[in-house]
Chain A
């Protein structure tokens, strides 16, 4: 069996035996979570996302969030995830928004036709301007992937300082979900003559609304 053959070759090369534990010299995981107050987090996130061509808006209340989303999707077909937060903000009831989809094929068809995909976000990362999206019954993957515009609406308390804090609060993402995606700005490519083009396969426009 190739498996046993390869593992045997590895062990022979390393001078190890089957079933042997890992050597005790594993470096401790390095997680350094900086101090960063709320305002600093917002400033950092906003600056980072803007540098990538994305946009950050702040809404003090859920109603304000809804009011920010409405003009952005005016006259457009939008698909929203099943995130409870979106319903709480009243976003799922905006005209032109379809949500509550649980069927994969239907979701795909709607996302392929939609011009805007609206999601919440599980976390945001201040030092890189990233969104952290975990796939779940509330959040499907395609909504932040197929439509050319992605709007994410998330409560401010989900804003972490960065990767170190993310892996501190979520050291084992695989226990929660089959897919955790860090989204850092619009999709992009520079494959032709290294000229930057925003919007390739994924959304070319990313708007993040922080609520609270």
Chain B
């Protein structure tokens, strides 16, 4: 598979501390989710999943309709909707508005979509200060690193890493107590909130019938980002739209539980524009930037369209035995875990990292925990088939194609299959009933060597099943 991917996977597997951090923190979230959706706790969990899936399906199947309804309702209350096809258009809009308003300081709450478009980098390049305000994201910004996990961006950082970072970047005495580190960061960021010209947030949902966005968080930084500055810009993928405010009764019950096991996050904000006449505080201006960035590329495929139902809870990451070993940085783009494995190839094209859809044992844990019932294993299988078809067309990976052709031929010619297996068994070391840890040529083909690099092989039996069966008669 791809050299880059293999290297990152290898490095992560070799890092014992990282392995422990990834496995234990995802384990905690996994258990939290499990407990919160258990039968006794949430008897209607499966029903809600079915409902959530159906709502998302309907919304995506009628995406243009709901985006236009959303836009109408935002505009009716004095807000503005801006469509952007890619990162450049988003940056152009934000920079343009910032210039018009004479803005210098921007505060940001957590948003995967802003990561997609490298917003901070672009703003910084043009001389604007754009500060991440979610604690984990703030830490990463100071460290110049990308988020490791949708819900736990700084999963890979210890309190000692944070202490070093704060001392170096904030010029404060070294502090390793987590509560104090938190208080320090919040104090620095509070000044930013209160001085900022623009607040940029993401949106967990875009509510069509209300012209409203929903932002879900635990810290309070999103509330401050969307309340303190005079201008509020929302950046959201077009697929975030849901038809009605009432649908939130379904989604809100699923989202926090799926993400962390909480019943609800500390704050759920339902924001429908700038402050109304008479309202004392809140922004004066409200912009919703709707981002394509590859989403419309995905839309035509009926089987794989469900990838867009994702509500970014992170449950699939926490359930995935592969993610829990290789972590977020092994993935080539901002989305990691099972959802990243199906989303990245479809947004960026499969050649971006062709290994991704194959880096899965298809265990199905992801599909089982997805609150909106995205059949991730099915989409992975479809992508695998797409990739092999493309390879056949382009004449790539010919040897593998040949091998599977041979496999199919063998398996449709039972007598030859039997003969070939008998020959292989004769060439294999007997092992004396013990499992085998090395195999001589010509049997030591690459797949055999790969297997043996990690575990032993079974010794071939004296007789195959069909030989034994014939003997019985």
Residues of A within 8 A of B (CB): 2-3, 5-7, 9-14, 16, 18, 20-23, 25-27, 29-32, 48, 101-104, 107-108, 112, 127-130, 135-137, 140-142, 145, 163-164, 166-167, 171-174, 177-195, 197, 199-203
**A192 touching B267 by the CB < 8 A rule?**
no
CA distance in complex: A127, B257 (Å): 14
**B58 touching A22 by the CB < 8 A rule?**
yes
**B296 touching A13 by the CB < 8 A rule?**
yes
Write out the residue numbers on chain A whose beta carbons fall within 8 Å of the beta carbon of B47: 30
Q: Which one, A3, A127, A174, contacts B83 given CB within 8 A?
A: A3
The 10 closest A-B pairs by CB, nearest first: A202-B220, A201-B220, A191-B136, A13-B299, A174-B210, A174-B272, A29-B246, A200-B219, A140-B280, A9-B296
Interface centre among B136, B178, B266, B269 (most CB of A within 10 A): B266
Write out the residue numbers on chain A whose beta carbons fall within 8 Å of the beta carbon of B179: 197
Stretch from B118-126, B223-231, B408-416 contacting the other chain = B223-231
Given pairs A145-B227, A167-B246, A187-B218, 20 additional interface contacts (CB within 8 A): A6-B85, A14-B300, A20-B64, A23-B61, A31-B246, A102-B280, A128-B263, A136-B279, A163-B253, A167-B249, A174-B270, A178-B275, A179-B275, A179-B282, A183-B266, A184-B263, A189-B135, A191-B153, A192-B178, A201-B219
**B181 touching A145 by the CB < 8 A rule?**
no
Write out the residue numbers on chain B whose beta carbons fall within 8 Å of the beta carbon of A128: 263-264
**A178 touching B279 by the CB < 8 A rule?**
yes
Whole-angstrom distance between the Cβ of B300 and the nearest chain A Cβ: 4
Write out the residue numbers on chain B whose beta carbons fall within 8 Å of the beta carbon of A140: 279-281
Write out the residue numbers on chain A whose beta carbons fall within 8 Å of the beta carbon of B54: 27
Whole-angstrom distance between the Cβ of A142 and the nearest chain B Cβ: 5
CA distance in complex: A75, B24 (Å): 44
Q: Does B319 contact A (CB under 8 A)?
A: no
**A2 touching B84 by the CB < 8 A rule?**
yes
A11-B64, A182-B267, A184-B265 in contact; A171/B246 too (CB < 8 A)? yes
**B154 touching A192 by the CB < 8 A rule?**
yes
Residues of B within 8 A of A (CB): 24-25, 28, 44, 47-48, 51, 54-55, 58, 61-68, 73, 77, 83-85, 89, 133-136, 139, 152-155, 157-159, 162, 178-179, 181-183, 186, 189-190, 193-194, 207, 209-212, 218-221, 223-224, 227-228, 238, 243-250, 252-253, 262-276, 278-282, 290, 292, 296, 299-300
A13-B299, A179-B269, A180-B270 in contact; A20/B248 too (CB < 8 A)? no
A187-B220, A188-B218 in contact; A178/B272 too (CB < 8 A)? yes
**B58 touching A27 by the CB < 8 A rule?**
yes
Whole-angstrom distance between the Cβ of A5 and the nearest chain B Cβ: 7
CB<8 Å pairs between A and B, sample of 10: A14-B61, A14-B299, A32-B44, A135-B275, A167-B248, A177-B272, A182-B269, A188-B218, A190-B152, A200-B218
Q: Which one, A22, A26, A141, A163, contacts B282 given CB within 8 A?
A: A141
Write out the residue numbers on chain B whose beta carbons fall within 8 Å of the beta carbon of A130: 264
The residue of chain A having its C-beta at the shortest distance from the C-beta of B292 within the complex is A6
A10-B299, A174-B210 in contact; A192/B281 too (CB < 8 A)? no
The residue of chain B having its C-beta at the shortest distance from the C-beta of A191 within the complex is B136
Write out the residue numbers on chain B whose beta carbons fall within 8 Å of the beta carbon of A137: 278-280
The residue of chain B having its C-beta at the shortest distance from the C-beta of A142 within the complex is B281
**A31 touching B89 by the CB < 8 A rule?**
no
**A182 touching B84 by the CB < 8 A rule?**
no
**A184 touching B220 by the CB < 8 A rule?**
no
CA distance in complex: A25, B290 (Å): 25
Whole-angstrom distance between the Cβ of A147 and the nearest chain B Cβ: 11
Q: Is the interface of A mostly helix, strand, loop or mixed?
A: loop
The residue of chain A having its C-beta at the shortest distance from the C-beta of B158 within the complex is A193
Q: Which one, A163, A185, A197, contacts B182 given CB within 8 A?
A: A197
Write out the residue numbers on chain A whose beta carbons fall within 8 Å of the beta carbon of B182: 189, 192, 197, 199-200
Write out the residue numbers on chain B whose beta carbons fall within 8 Å of the beta carbon of A112: 190, 194
CA distance in complex: A161, B248 (Å): 15
Write out the residue numbers on chain B whose beta carbons fall within 8 Å of the beta carbon of A164: 249
Q: Which one, A10, A27, A31, A188, contacts B64 given CB within 8 A?
A: A10
Q: Which one, A5, A32, A181, contacts B85 given CB within 8 A?
A: A5
**A23 touching B282 by the CB < 8 A rule?**
no
**B89 touching A16 by the CB < 8 A rule?**
no
Write out the residue numbers on chain A whose beta carbons fall within 8 Å of the beta carbon of B186: 200-201
